[in-house]
């Protein structure tokens, strides 16, 4: 242990406060001036905490969902009966689905329909809800990317039911997904059977609001909200939610995705044929991909 004289120690302890305050103010300024520093700091921190959360989350989830070993055994018999009934029902639906698929294929063949490129998907467990009071984001564990793996930044995150958000940050172990309820989230959507365009904006509340719908054609209660390809941020036709008028008579979207209790997210990386018009780039800022001419003019101007 280093022995210091008492006056020197007192002087040092008086100095730490102004030094720390200056350092913190410096971090604020650097973070504001250099977004890459900010992103680097956060990605590094997320990589550090992700394994801790991955270890700590399963017991918590088991407690919260009361699906611990004991609870499971008690519910086993009734669950089995329920599953058998459900299985019988699903077998009927499977027949219906097969018939519909055949019909769909026949109709597509008649139309000369060109299917879109299938997106690459990564499935990850949601380990932490690390948003603050002004942000709604979750941390998803992802496999360590290989050398040629496409960047996940800009990937669309979906749970089993609908769009949950977009990847805004990727480290080596974890990716951060900005949820559609975040105040920074703006998503072009298509409403109802006509596909009327509007913008869905997060408010940090539970339900995002709708902006900029065409004045003569307000959104109808119960209309299904799908993503729209306008602006190039999202592929068209992904399910988002339904239109609902809240107590203030403003149209909001009730998301399909179970946003307060996300457990698993699939991150879809769509082929990079979309023009870069969005604030979240489709590629990591460090290795910016310069689109070739035909790709850049993929949409008619």
Partner 1 sequence: MARLSASARRPLSLWRRLDLAARWLFPSVTLLAGLLALGLPFGLPGQASLRPALAVGCVFFWSIYRPASLPAALTGVIGLVLDLLDYTPPGLWAVLLLCLQWLTIALRHQLVGMKFRLIWAVFAGFALGAMTLAWAGQSLLCATLLPIWPSALAAGAAIALYPALAAGLIRAHRGAAAVELA
Smallest separation, CB 136 to partner 1 (Å): 8
Residue 92 or 134 having the CB closest to partner 1: 134
- Rg of the chain over CA atoms, in angstroms? 24
Cα three-residue angle 77-263-243, rounded to 5 degrees: 105
Helices (H), the chain: 6-33, 35-64, 69-111, 293-296
Smallest separation, CB 248 to partner 1 (Å): 14
From residue 183, give the alpha-carbon distance in Å to each of 128, 132, 186, 203, 207: 19, 12, 8, 5, 11
Smallest separation, CB 64 to partner 1 (Å): 6
Smallest separation, CB 229 to partner 1 (Å): 27
* Residues near partner 1 (CB under 8 A): 13, 16-17, 19-21, 23-29, 31-32, 38, 41-42, 45-46, 49, 52-53, 56-57, 60-61, 64, 126-135, 137, 139, 183, 203-204, 260-261, 263
Q: Are strands 196-201 and 163-170 parallel, antiparallel or unpaired?
A: unpaired
**Spatial CA neighbour of 163 closest among 225, 118, 111:** 225
Residue 229 or 280 having the CB closest to partner 1: 280
Cβ burial, residue 122 (10 Å; 0-12/13-18/19+): buried
Smallest separation, CB 274 to partner 1 (Å): 26
Residue 26 or 237 having the CB closest to partner 1: 26
Residue 170 or 227 having the CB closest to partner 1: 170
Residue 29 or 81 having the CB closest to partner 1: 29
């Amino acid at each position: 242990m280093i022995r210091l004289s008492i006056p020197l120690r007192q002087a040092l302890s008086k100095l730490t406060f102004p030094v720390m305050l200056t350092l913190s103010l410096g971090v604020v300024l650097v973070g504001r001036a250099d977004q890459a520093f900010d992103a680097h700091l956060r990605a590094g921190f997320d990589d550090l905490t992700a394994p801790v959360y991955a270890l700590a989350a399963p017991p918590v989830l088991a407690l919260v969902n009361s699906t611990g070993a004991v609870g499971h055994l008690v519910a086993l018999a009734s669950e089995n009966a329920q599953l058998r009934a459900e299985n019988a029902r699903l077998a009927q639906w499977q027949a219906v689905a097969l018939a519909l698929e055949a019909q769909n294929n026949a109709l597509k063949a008649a139309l000369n329909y060109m299917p879109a490129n299938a997106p690459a998907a990564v499935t990850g467990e949601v380990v932490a809800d690390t948003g603050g009071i002004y942000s709604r984001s979750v941390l998803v564990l992802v496999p360590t990317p290989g050398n040629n793996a496409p960047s996940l930044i800009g990937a669309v995150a979906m749970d089993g039911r609908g769009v949950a958000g977009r990847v805004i940050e990727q480290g080596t172990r974890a990716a951060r997904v900005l949820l559609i309820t975040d105040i920074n989230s703006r998503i072009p959507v298509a409403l109802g059977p006509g596909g009327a365009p509007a913008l869905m904006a997060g408010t940090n509340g539970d339900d995002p609001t709708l902006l900029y719908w065409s004045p003569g054609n307000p959104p109808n209660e119960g209309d299904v909200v799908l993503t729209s390809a306008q602006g190039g941020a999202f592929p068209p036709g992904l399910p988002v939610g339904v239109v609902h008028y809240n107590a203030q008579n403003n149209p909001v979207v009730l998301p399909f995705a179970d946003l307060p209790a996300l457990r698993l997210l699939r991150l879809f990386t769509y082929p990079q044929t979309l023009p870069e018009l969005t604030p979240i780039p489709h590629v990591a800022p460090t290795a910016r991909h310069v689109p070739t001419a035909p790709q850049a003019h993929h949409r008619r101007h």
